[in-house]
Amino acid sequence: DTGVSQNPRHKITKRGQNVTFRCDPISEHNRLYWYRQTLGQGPEFLTYFQNEAQLEKSRLLSDRFSAERPKGSFSTLEIQRTEQGDSAMYLCASSWGQADTQYFGPGTRLTVL
């Protein structure tokens, strides 16, 4: 399978715990995006990387959120001190360049109890 993969697919955690999600983009795609989707809403942009550089962060990305792409390949999204409002689907997408089509992974569904 050469598509975007995300792990885990589901995560249940208790409020206050830290969680980390991983995204593996399509091989050789240098752009990687993170989005968040709550129930009944369209996905919302969080941040994106060009290679290992994080070029834009949405104001939705509070101080508790951090994303990395250390070697310009896979990326991780960490949420510290989770809150119930963090419950959502976290989506990753990748593209070859700025003007290229983004392809999405299956998402990680987070439930904060």
Partner 1 sequence: DAKTTQPPSMDCAEGRAANLPCNHSTISGNEYVYWYRQIHSQGPQYIIHGLKNNETNEMASLIITEDRKSSTLILPHATLRDTAVYYCIVRFNTGKLIFGQGTTLQVKP
Binding mask 86-105 for partner 1 (x = CB under 8 A): ---x-x-x-x--xxxxxxxx
Q: Is 107 in the site for partner 1 (CB under 8 A)?
A: yes
Chosen residue from 25, 30, 48, 69 binding partner 1 by CB under 8 A: 48
CA atoms within 13 A on the CB side of 12: 1
In the complex, minimum distance from the CB of residue 10 to partner 1, in angstroms, rounded to a whole number: 10
Q: Which of 45, 85, 84 is nearest to 67 (CA)?
A: 45
Cα separation, 70 vs 60, in Å, equals: 22
Q: Closest approach of Cβ 92 to partner 1, in Å?
A: 8
Contacts of 38 (CB under 8 A, 6+ apart): 87, 88, 89
Task: Rule CB under 8 A: choose which of 20, 24, 45, 74 binds partner 1.
Answer: 45
